[in-house]
Structure 1
Amino acid sequence: MGYVQKISKNKFKLIADLGYRGNRRIRKTKNVEAKSEKEAMRLLILFEEEMKQNKDVYFSDIESITLNQLFPRWKDNYAKQHYSARSFHDNCTHLEKQILPIFGDIKGY
């Protein structure tokens, strides 16, 4: 569950609590304008739902997954959207040829 902090008149900071990754809390923030704290709470609920839908799905079961199983998820869900075509190709090639053969069977934690 997240919470709202009042920054100034009609401005609020939304803090969405998205759970834990290991021992660290995962939090996302967003500044919004709202007429009241009640409206800001409604915006917080929408913000939390949006963040949960966009959450890094490929990290959800990190304790029981190997690097070989994680690589395709990372490649499809993250790398294609965040790297240029050249960087994507170079990083995937490097991982497939040098990293995965050695460390591919290691589990997350």
Structure 2
Amino acid sequence: MNNKQVVWINVFTAKPGKLDELVTIQSEELVNFKSEDVPGWISSRWHCSVDNNKAIMVTTWESIEFHKSWLEKADFAEHLNKIQHLIEGTEGGYYTVVENIENS
């Protein structure tokens, strides 16, 4: 089992005119993560493009296994049903931090 912290980056392409609705639902889901104390979840950041219908969710998990466990839960299936009609496509993958450079 790989217990190394990972970042799941998911790029969403919204259907035309549906980006705002997608952002609203996804943002509500992130607030639920915090109140539900989802096992292994550390943080999430939600970014929207300024010039098209794409959004990126960056979520940090304690491990790949914690994320995969969340994907198997009924809560995730219910959430997916809420947003599926708003999405043309998604592309996601796991990443690890190689270097963190900040302007302090």
TM-score (structure 2 length as normaliser): 0.25
Structure 1 or 2: more strand by fraction = 2
Bigger relative contact order, structure 1 or 2 (CA pairs below 8 A, ≥6 apart): 2
Q: Which structure dedicates a bigger proportion of its chain to helix?
A: 1
